[in-house]
Structures are given as C-alpha cells and as structure tokens.
Amino acid sequence: MVSSLSRTVITVLVGCGIARAAYSIGSDDEIRASAKQLAADLLAYYHGDQPGQTPGILPGPPPAGDYYWWEGGALWGTMIDYWHLTGDDTYNNITSQAMLFQVGPNQDYMPPNVTASLGNDDQGFWGMSAMLAAENNFPNPPADQPQWLALAQAVFNTQASPDRHDSTCNGGLRWQIPLSNNGYDYKNSIANGCFFNLGARLARYTKNETYAKWAEETWDWVTGVGFMDAKYHIYDGAHVEHNCTDINKAQFSYNNAVYLLGAAYMYNYTNGSDKWQQRISGLLDATLTTFFPNDTAYEISCEAKMTCTTDMLSFKGYLHRWLATTTQIAPFTKDKILPVLRTSTEAAVAQCTGGSTGRVCGFKWSTRTYDGTQGAGQQMNVLGAVSSLLIDSAKPPVTNMTGGTSKGNPNAGSQSSTFDGEVKPPSTSEKAGAGILTFLLLSGAVTTFSWMSTGV
C-alpha cells in the first residue's frame, strides 16, 4: 500500500538546501498537469515541425545528432499514449504529420534515406506506434493518406515475407534488413519481439488467425533458439554463422516489455488460455525481479556504470507503458503491476530537478536525485511513467468489433522492396541502428558484458 505522504510532491535534499521535485502525482489532476509539462519539455527536443527540418525524427543520426530513426517512431507512440491517457490533444497534429511523413514510398515504414541503418526492430517500432494509433482510435488520417491499421499491416507483411525468414538458426528474423548492413549476420530478441508483438495485436484487432499463428511460431522460435530461457530471462541475440549458439546474455528491459505485452494480447485473443496465462505470469515475475529492484525501474545491463547508449536511455518508458497496457489486456496482472509502477514513478519524478528550469529529468531513478544527464530518452521515460498512472481510467485498446475505426489493408506492403543487392554499403556514420548490437559489437564494448556469457 502506498502511503498518502509518498503520493504527494517528493522532496530531495541537494547539498545544503532542498530542491523540490517539479512534478506531483498525488491525484489524477496532478498527474495530468505533470504529464502536460513533461510532454512540453520532451517536444522541445523535436524540431521536425520547424521550417527546413525533417518531420518525424529527432535530431540525428550521429554525427548530425544523438538519435537514430527508430526513436522517432518510439516518440510518437509515447505521444499517442499521452493523448489517450490524459485527453490532451495539443500534439495530435504534430504526431500525425510525423507518423505520415516517415511511411516511405511504399507506405511500409522503410523510407530509402534510412536504408543503411534499417533494422527489423527499427521498422517494428514505427509499426507498433501505427498499431497503437488504431487501437486507441487516434484521429484517422485524411482518406487520401495511408491509414494506421494498414500501416501496421504493411510492416507485419513485409516482416512475414519469405525473404526475411531464412533457414539459419532454424528461422527467425535477422536484426538488419538489407544484407549489406552491419548486423545482418545477427538474429536478436528485439527484432523478433516487435514482430511477435505486432502479430499478437493484429490478431486481436482483426480476429485473423494468420497473425496469431505467426505470433505463436515466433514465440516458439525465440524459446527454442534459447533467446528466452526456461526462467523467462530474455537475452540479446546471437550470430547466424554460429547457428545462434553464441548467445549474448545481456538483458534489456524493452525486450521483456515487448514480449510481455504481446503475450497479454495473445492471452486476450485466446480468451484467457492457460498456456498464455502461464507464460505471462512467468515473464512478469522475471521482469519485475530483474528490472525493478526495490520496485524501481533499473536498466541492469548498463545503468550501474552508466555505459548506456542513447538508445538504452529510452527503455524505461516503454517498460512502464507496456506493463500498464498489459493490465488492461490481461487484467489478472493488475494487482501485481500497478503498485510497482506507482513506486517506480515516484522515484522517477523525484529526480527531475535538473537544468535551469529545475525540472530536467535524468536516467537514474533509484537514487531519487538528478544524475546530471538529459535527453529525449530520459524525458520520454518519465512522461511514459507518469501518464501510465492514468491507465485505470482509460479505455482499453479497441478492435474492429469494439469501436475501432481505422481502415486496414491485408495486402499492404506487397510492393515493398526486398533490398536484393541494390543497397550501397553503409557509411561509418550510418552503420548503427536501434538494435543493442550497436553497443555490444560495433562500439567494441562487448567485453563489458563478458560476465553475462556464463548465464544469470
């Protein structure tokens, strides 16, 4: 039980004085007010709606800015949830413009200008945000523009295409899409997790068994290859030249979250099957144990020594948002999840005392003091956590039978490129993408995680 005192504005000692946290989460009205300010501060990092800038993306990719293409897709998912949970439509037009600008010529979230760092996970994040728009009945685009459900289907269909699934490691998606990209020889949990998640959600929304079959087979492949073990620990990935036996055992919170939410959708789609309930329960326990020590979100593989990349600095927000939605889709999880999210969010807002405004958020929540870092990921984390506290009063995700209005296209993505040989080798500045391999392999930091190779 959370005390009434801890639900009020949290204060933290700084030096000889006292700095009061900028955000209060004691009541729903306070949560909305805090989320509103957090959203404004987050969108200060976005310039795509300004003259001469590119809609949809955060500044980047390096060296032009800190952020890769995928994090734009994640940002708009956060803003769709913000609107859905708070009712504030201030940023709806910006969100729609951004989501539609990045669809690419084949309306499948594979714009040519990001080809040299395009992973299945990158594309998957944009697809999941389009799916979220359909599920939340986010305002539909004009009739002459691609629709949210059709965009999600296009992403799924391109990833279900035979050219994405080869016989190496007995199946599964590779990390990268074009064969010329660094990381094409790597299969990982997040690429397959986004595909699994999207398939499960499309199955529930459309009642089409084909999506559910793909989701089921993807889960079975991930567990069969050893990326998820019997104790529901989820590991990063492995190389095809080793038949995926050289598993890198780094664990990241967004992996657990993307599979947990997908499992919740499969549980819902199968009318509460025992199999999916058991999988949810096991994965939830592993997630809370691994990533919420003292009931506070913690990125176990990089936070202790702050070796987190820009990508990793945004994972806590997805963790909070997707666990919150899990409580709506699989209600038996509610009593276990919501108290932890409350405590974790209290820690999150307590440390947002940085910068000249006194409300800049850092990454380390467990100390409840500002850690001196700042960025879109850190701000997005706290916004996701705070707005998710309103999940109990929000409408659950809809389907096409329960009020969903987004129009679909089961053949979407059929004209998409296969990238067979037409892609030039990536430049040095383009090689990294959303996948964790950017950090583990390309930066030479794999030795940081050598202790993980022996298991957890």
- List of domains in the chain: 11-454 (1.50.10.20)
Compute the average pLDDT of residues 279-303: 98
Give the integer Cα–Cα distance in Å for 387 and 23: 12
Give the integer Cα–Cα distance in Å for 172 and 374: 36
pLDDT higher than 50, residue 138: yes
Q: How confident is the model at residue 21 (pLDDT cuts 50, 70, 90)?
A: confident
Q: What is the pLDDT of residue 419?
A: 63
Q: What is the pLDDT of residue 416?
A: 77
Q: What is the pLDDT of residues 178-200, one digit of tens each?
A: 999 999 999 999 999 999 999 99
Radius of gyration over every alpha carbon of the chain, rounded to an integer in angstroms: 20
Retrieve residue 203's tokens: 């199955």
Q: How confident is the model at residue 168 (pLDDT cuts 50, 70, 90)?
A: very high
Strand partners, 119: 176
Give the integer Cα–Cα distance in Å for 271 and 397: 15
Compute the average pLDDT of residues 21-34: 96
CA 437 to each of CA 146, 196, 235, 336, 442: distance values in angstroms, whole numbers, following the listed order: 32, 20, 12, 32, 7
Could you give phi then psi for residue 184, rounded to 5 degrees?
-65, -25
* Burial category of 369 from C-beta neighbours within 10 Å (exposed 0-12, middle 13-18, buried 19 and up): middle
Q: What is the pLDDT of residue 266?
A: 99
Q: Model pTM?
A: 0.90
Report which secondary-structure segment, H or E, holds 18. Answer: strand 17-20
Q: How confident is the model at residue 418 (pLDDT cuts 50, 70, 90)?
A: low
Are 369 and 14 a contacting pair, CB within 8 Å?
A: yes
- What one-letter code names the amino acid at 126? W
Q: What is the pLDDT of residues 422-444, one digit of tens each?
A: 433 333 333 334 444 434 433 33
* 65 Cβ contact partners less than 8 Å away, ≥ 6 residues apart: 58, 59
Are 123 and 106 a contacting pair, CB within 8 Å?
A: no
Q: What is the pLDDT of residue 19?
A: 56
Q: What is the pLDDT of residue 424?
A: 39
Report which secondary-structure segment, H or E, holds 13. Answer: strand 11-14
Q: What is the pLDDT of residues 70-88, one digit of tens each?
A: 999 999 999 999 999 999 9
Q: How many residues does the chain have?
A: 456
Could you give phi then psi for residue 91, rounded to 5 degrees?
-105, 15
Compute the average pLDDT of residues 282-290: 98
CA 412 to each of CA 129, 140, 152, 156: distance values in angstroms, whole numbers, following the listed order: 16, 17, 9, 9
Give the integer Cα–Cα distance in Å for 272 and 2: 30
CA 308 to each of CA 76, 158, 452: distance values in angstroms, whole numbers, following the listed order: 22, 31, 16
Retrieve residue 60's tokens: 């980047």
Q: What is the pLDDT of residue 149?
A: 98
Q: What is the pLDDT of residues 316-354, one digit of tens each?
A: 999 999 999 999 999 999 999 999 999 999 999 999 999
Compute the average pLDDT of residues 48-56: 97
Q: What is the pLDDT of residue 423?
A: 37
Give the integer Cα–Cα distance in Å for 128 and 110: 14
Give the integer Cα–Cα distance in Å for 312 and 363: 10
Q: What is the pLDDT of residue 432?
A: 37
- What one-letter code names the amino acid at 28? D
Q: What is the pLDDT of residue 6?
A: 40
Q: What is the pLDDT of residues 237-256, one digit of tens each?
A: 999 999 999 999 999 999 99
Compute the average pLDDT of residues 209-232: 98
Beta strands, E only, 136-215: 186-188
11-14 and 17-20 as β-strands: parallel, antiparallel, unpaired? antiparallel
Give the integer Cα–Cα distance in Å for 456 and 451: 9
Report which secondary-structure segment, H or E, holds 238. Answer: strand 237-239
Strand partners, 274: none
Retrieve residue 174's tokens: 């590779």
Lowest pLDDT segment from 7-11, 80-84, 224-228, 419-423: 7-11
Choose among 41, 76, 1, 85: nearest CA to 385.
Answer: 85
